[in-house]
Chains A and B, each alone.
Chain A
Amino acid sequence: MKAGVLRERSGALLLVLPVLVFMAVFFLWPLWAMVTAAFVDDAVSKVLPRTAASIVSWNGQGVPSEAAHKALVQDLRAATDEQALGEAVRRLNSAASGFRTLLGRTIPAVKAASDPAQVDLLAIDPRWKDTRFWMALKEAMPPYTDRNILAAVDMKRDASGSIVLEAADASAHRLIMLRTLLVAAMVTIACAVIGLPYAMLAASLTGWKRSVLLLAVVLPLWTSLLVRTAAWFILLQNEGLINRALQAIGLIDSPLPLIFNRLGVVIAMTHVLLPFMVLPIYSVILGIPRNLMSAAQSMGAGPVRAFWRVLLPLSLPGLLSGSLLVFMVAIGYYITPALLGGANDQMISSVIAFYATGTANWGLAGALGLMLLGVTTVLYTIYGRFSTSPQVPGA
């Protein structure tokens, strides 16, 4: 009996196993990779383990002791993994410029020396007298860092280790994050302005008219995002349908700038995200008993007042969940701003992509990604609150 239950249980487990594996491989693992990329910083300490061990005792004044010099020489001689070494050099060079050329001269000399004990770093290059390079080495040694997460919000540690703002022209992550939130807010408002009346209209109709309206809003969900964005590209460009039509009927003389600016991004994103607004509102309205509007009218409320006092307040939960949903999806948008926006319309996802694929700065990409994830998680929590709260009692 007990064995039977156990077998049944394990059978059930086997059935969900593919899902669990899928989740682990395509969701948890990338997430974990992002977190580690943001916080782990072992490119240098992996290649120079002996240096790491001996430099910790250095107080940061002048140059470290002879032992640290020896350790560095040993490490450089032992470093055979070209890729790992290159990674470490890049990391060090980003902390102290000039490190690349310094090591470029040092490494061949160290490797060529017959007796490592006789190697004098200062003789190879006098720059080894400079505290700046040794400081960069020391700071690159701890395996974990908050450098990326600070950089994500335009901050850094200064020479004394306290957290300060980055120079205003050096980094623009805050600006881009703000812009992302702004664009998302604009799209959310546009979706709400169009989506609320649309959902109300759809809910008030019956039969095929309702089906057509719903289909019109759901259909875009079934087409690829890229195709939809490309379609807007065709519509909005200077020689596009909209400008041609407006010029043909003589409303404008020269084409309106509809593309490669914020307007184009907002138009296209609103179209793409409209279903996420319409569907929650629609379902909430369907749940409102019809006789509430009749009751309001019987008590002397004309259509307008019945709308303001009854239908609109009761639709608000739908509007709220729709808005949160649209906002959440919008802040992660990437392709549409990239194709339809100008240089000043790029959103945080584009920046993440730039760091990840453009400069291979996975640490910063991970930190920015975490920030985006954080914002989304907060919004999602709020969304969960609103979408589960009961509003219409047992009618």
Chain B
Amino acid sequence: MRPFIRFESVSKAFGSLTVVNALDLAIEKGEFVSLLGPSGSGKTTILMMLAGFERPTQGAIYLDGKRIDHLPPYRRQMGVVFQNYALFPHMSVAENVAFPLEMQRVPRAEITERVERALDMVKLKQLKDRRPSQLSGGQQQRIALTRALVFEPSVILMDEPLGALDKQLREHMQLEIRELHKRLGLTIVFVTHDQSEALTMSDRIAVFNAGRIEQIDVPQVIYDTPRTRFVAEFIGETNLIEAKVASVDNQVARLSLGAGLSARAHAGNGLSAGQTASFSLRPERIRLGASPEGSNALDMTITDCIYHGDHMRVQLTRDEFSLVARCERLAGNWTVGAPVVASFDPSDCTVLTQ
């Protein structure tokens, strides 16, 4: 199937600064794709190229098979939710929501009806005569979203739309947007630098670093098997292990971790005996105490134990080698200085490139 949105080796430079570097990206119709990356990694620039506010220096962008990178923004039919909502301060809520419909020259009567219906959907009908400045941040956010949805654009683009909200409201809005996406079958490109937001909301996540995609995949794969060191560190918390590959046998590598420890890991392709490589091991994948059949078992010492409410963070050390494990609070009674066996499955230890 032909992808709905396609970036074809798109680059963007501001003067001598290359912000987006030979980007290839395909997004299906109805998909929720997050662009995730640290500040300055070029996410907004990519979104602005898609919306038409920036022109690619090189490459082509296609929407539904038609090349669009030469079209002005007002010909692209995309709903954009801006970082600070960009509601028109001189118009009421209803006028704001009616604006895109007026621009599409929808008949008056139909505009009124569609605005009512849209405001009803986000449960803000009673605010329709207010000015944006009289709304709370969450309400403004919802109006901005409604305004982007009301003219039934082919794509919704959102640039860190929840960044200005407090944590509770943000989580609520995450669910609400996800719900709308499912219900209306929207195609959404969502920019964020918040990894947990990307993980909970997206069908797929594209992790950006310095204008390049480091990895693009469904959230579970991004989290469980990060491909690069950058992804492993940017998404969640991880133990980065530098290890020497002792041998590779049938996709299983035997690693020497230092301090006399060794472990097995899924090698993937391209690992050969004798080289050093980086591995990622998520703290919650480490079990303390028991070591089931087939798992790695390391004899370590507990050097610190930090209480986090719903879980404990246990620091494990053996000479210069150390790990952090994340355990259920009630999983055991860990005392600092006590020896312990740390175990994990070979498949949870993921090899990283770079």
A-side residues, CB < 8 A to B, are: 289, 291-292, 294-302, 305-306, 309-310, 313-314, 390-395
Q: What are 6 pairs between A and B in contact, CB < 8 Å?
A: A294-B82, A297-B72, A298-B52, A298-B79, A302-B72, A313-B90
Could you mark each residue 148-166 of chain B with 1 if its beta carbon is under 8 Å from any beta carbon of chain A, else 0? Answer: 1001000000000000000
With A and B bound together, what is the CA distance between A303 and B151 in angstroms?
Answer: 19
With A and B bound together, what is the CA distance between A205 and B54 in angstroms?
Answer: 17
Cβ of B89 and Cβ of A395 under 8 Å apart? yes
Cβ of B82 and Cβ of A291 under 8 Å apart? yes
Cβ of A300 and Cβ of B100 under 8 Å apart? yes
User: Which A residues lie within 8 Å of B86 (CB)?
Assistant: 289, 291-292, 294-295, 395
Whether, in the assembled complex, B147 has its beta carbon less than 8 Å from a beta carbon of chain A, the answer is yes
Cβ of B103 and Cβ of A299 under 8 Å apart? yes
Most chain A C-beta atoms within 10 Å of own C-beta, residue among B51, B83, B89? B89
B-side residues, CB < 8 A to A, are: 51-53, 72-74, 76-80, 82-84, 86, 88-90, 99-100, 103-104, 131-133, 147-148, 151
Cβ of A393 and Cβ of B72 under 8 Å apart? no
Cβ of A393 and Cβ of B132 under 8 Å apart? yes
User: Which A residues lie within 8 Å of B104 (CB)?
Assistant: 300
Closest to A314 in B: B90
Give the shortest distance, in Å, between B275 (CB) and chain A (any CB): 49
Cβ of B133 and Cβ of A294 under 8 Å apart? no
User: Which B residues lie within 8 Å of A301 (CB)?
Assistant: 74, 99, 103
Cβ of B89 and Cβ of A300 under 8 Å apart? no
User: Which A residues lie within 8 Å of B83 (CB)?
Assistant: 291
With A and B bound together, what is the CA distance between A309 and B90 in angstroms?
Answer: 10
With A and B bound together, what is the CA distance between A394 and B103 in angstroms?
Answer: 26
Cβ of A299 and Cβ of B82 under 8 Å apart? no
User: Which B residues lie within 8 Å of A294 (CB)?
Assistant: 51, 53, 73, 80, 82, 86
Cβ of A298 and Cβ of B84 under 8 Å apart? no
User: Which B residues lie within 8 Å of A289 (CB)?
Assistant: 84, 86
Cβ of A298 and Cβ of B72 under 8 Å apart? no
Closest to A316 in B: B90
Cβ of A305 and Cβ of B103 under 8 Å apart? yes
Q: A395 contacts which of B84, B99, B148 (Cβ < 8 Å)?
A: B84
Cβ of A302 and Cβ of B88 under 8 Å apart? no
Cβ of B78 and Cβ of A298 under 8 Å apart? yes
Cβ of B74 and Cβ of A300 under 8 Å apart? yes
* A-B Cβ contacts below 8 A, count: 73
Main secondary structure on A side of the interface with B:
helix
User: Which B residues lie within 8 Å of A291 (CB)?
Assistant: 82-84, 86
With A and B bound together, what is the CA distance between A298 and B47 in angstroms?
Answer: 12
User: Which A residues lie within 8 Å of B99 (CB)?
Assistant: 296, 299, 301, 309
Known: A291-B83, A298-B76. 13 other contacts (CB 8 A): A291-B82, A291-B84, A292-B86, A292-B88, A294-B51, A297-B52, A297-B72, A299-B99, A305-B103, A392-B89, A393-B89, A393-B133, A394-B133
Closest 10 CB pairs of A and B: A393-B133, A299-B100, A300-B103, A295-B86, A298-B80, A297-B73, A291-B86, A291-B82, A297-B74, A301-B103
Give the shortest distance, in Å, between B90 (CB) and chain A (any CB): 5
With A and B bound together, what is the CA distance between A295 and B89 in angstroms?
Answer: 12
Most chain A C-beta atoms within 10 Å of own C-beta, residue among B76, B133, B148? B133
Closest to A309 in B: B99
Closest to B159 in A: A291
Give the shortest distance, in Å, between A312 (CB) and chain B (any CB): 10
Cβ of B89 and Cβ of A299 under 8 Å apart? no
Cβ of B82 and Cβ of A295 under 8 Å apart? yes
With A and B bound together, what is the CA distance between A296 and B89 in angstroms?
Answer: 12
With A and B bound together, what is the CA distance between A309 and B102 in angstroms?
Answer: 11
Cβ of A298 and Cβ of B88 under 8 Å apart? no
With A and B bound together, what is the CA distance between A299 and B152 in angstroms?
Answer: 11
Give the shortest distance, in Å, between B89 (CB) and chain A (any CB): 5
User: Which A residues lie within 8 Å of B133 (CB)?
Assistant: 390, 393-394
Closest to A292 in B: B86
With A and B bound together, what is the CA distance between A305 and B74 in angstroms?
Answer: 11
With A and B bound together, what is the CA distance between A297 and B147 in angstroms?
Answer: 13
User: Which A residues lie within 8 Å of B103 (CB)?
Assistant: 296, 299-301, 305
User: Which A residues lie within 8 Å of B147 (CB)?
Assistant: 299
User: Which B residues lie within 8 Å of A309 (CB)?
Assistant: 99
With A and B bound together, what is the CA distance between A299 and B97 in angstroms?
Answer: 10
User: Which A residues lie within 8 Å of B132 (CB)?
Assistant: 393
With A and B bound together, what is the CA distance between A306 and B88 in angstroms?
Answer: 11
Give the shortest distance, in Å, between A313 (CB) and chain B (any CB): 5
User: Which A residues lie within 8 Å of B131 (CB)?
Assistant: 393
User: Which B residues lie within 8 Å of A292 (CB)?
Assistant: 86, 88
With A and B bound together, what is the CA distance between A296 and B147 in angstroms?
Answer: 11
Cβ of B53 and Cβ of A302 under 8 Å apart? no
User: Which A residues lie within 8 Å of B84 (CB)?
Assistant: 289, 291, 395
Most chain B C-beta atoms within 10 Å of own C-beta, residue among A299, A300, A302? A299
Give the shortest distance, in Å, between B117 (CB) and chain A (any CB): 18
User: Which A residues lie within 8 Å of B53 (CB)?
Assistant: 294, 297
Give the shortest distance, in Å, between A116 (CB) and chain B (any CB): 81
